[in-house]
Amino acid sequence: MSQEPETNTEVRLPLTEHLEELRQRLIRSLIAMGIGTALCYSRAETLYMALLSPLTTQLPGDSRLIFTELTEAFLTYFKLALWGGFALASPVIFYQAWRFVSPGLFRKERKILFLFSACSTAALLAGMAFAYFFAVPAIFTFFLAYGGSTIVAMPSMKESLSLVLRILLLFGVMFEVPLVMFLGGRAGILSPDLLRRGRKVAIVGVFVLGAVLTPPDAVSQFLVAVPIYALYEAGILLCALGARLHKGPDRG
């Protein structure tokens, strides 16, 4: 096999050996996830209460989390254990995926993919942290405000967990927007001038989103809207950087 100057020395394997390698790496990933899931399930109640603490700390004294089906508590804890197991096993899973695809990439492509994965993971975790400490408490405050002397909140275990996970995932994806803007600029699809002209629309959009996601007061809306708009401004800068990188090789 002829070697490209930027690739590592490698031997071309037949399809059956590639499939066998894929099977082995999938098995290792599943074993790692199984171990992580078992560990998380052994501490499922503690993890659940930590994840739902933005809700439980705001419940009125006569409110409790409840389950209305016999299997709901078990399935809720098991669902949480699966998510936790995936999080614990993710380094092993990503490593196995990396070892499978990296031999087919050029050295420069491997560096770009590794950097993109690191930045994407950091953005996802930052978005989920922002949601957990700021957005989720504000959203629960808004919904619990509908209770009263005759209407008492009794949230379901399953629905409460699903809501928190959806919010965490939503904000995690939103924090990926600057990275997407950079890739758009790098590919020549987006331009920083276009994004700058869209600032007014972006400002209105983030404050409408802040009003939807938070209680009807200015402080809560600003706590959510301002960081989201800051992501848009960061995306413009990254898009400009990507556009410069896109033009450089073409003109070289």
Residue-level pLDDT at 12:
59
* CA nearest neighbour of 210 among 218, 38, 115: 218
Calculate the CA dihedral of residues 166, 176, 97, 38 and round it to 10 degrees.
Answer: -30
Count CA within 13 A, CB hemisphere, residue 180: 10
Residue 220's pLDDT is 66
Mean pLDDT for 104-122 is: 83
According to the model, what pLDDT value does residue 4 have? 45
pLDDT band at 219 (very low <50, low <70, confident <90, very high): low
Q: How far apart are CA 29 and CA 200, in angstroms?
A: 46
If we measure between CA atoms, which residue out of 124, 125, 120 comes closest to residue 238? Answer: 120
Residue 252 scores a pLDDT above 60: no
pTM above threshold 0.75? yes
Alpha helix stretches (DSSP H) within 102-198: 107-130, 136-144, 157-174, 177-187, 192-197
208 — pLDDT class (breaks 50, 70, 90)? confident
Mean pLDDT of all residues in 53-80: 90
The two three-digit tokens of residue 229, written as one number: 């708009």
Domain ranges of the chain: 15-251
Is pLDDT of 111 > 80? yes
pLDDT at position 206 is: 85
Using DSSP's 3-state secondary structure scheme, residue 156 falls into strand
Query: Each residue of 69-97: pLDDT tens digit?
Result: 999 999 999 999 999 999 999 999 999 99
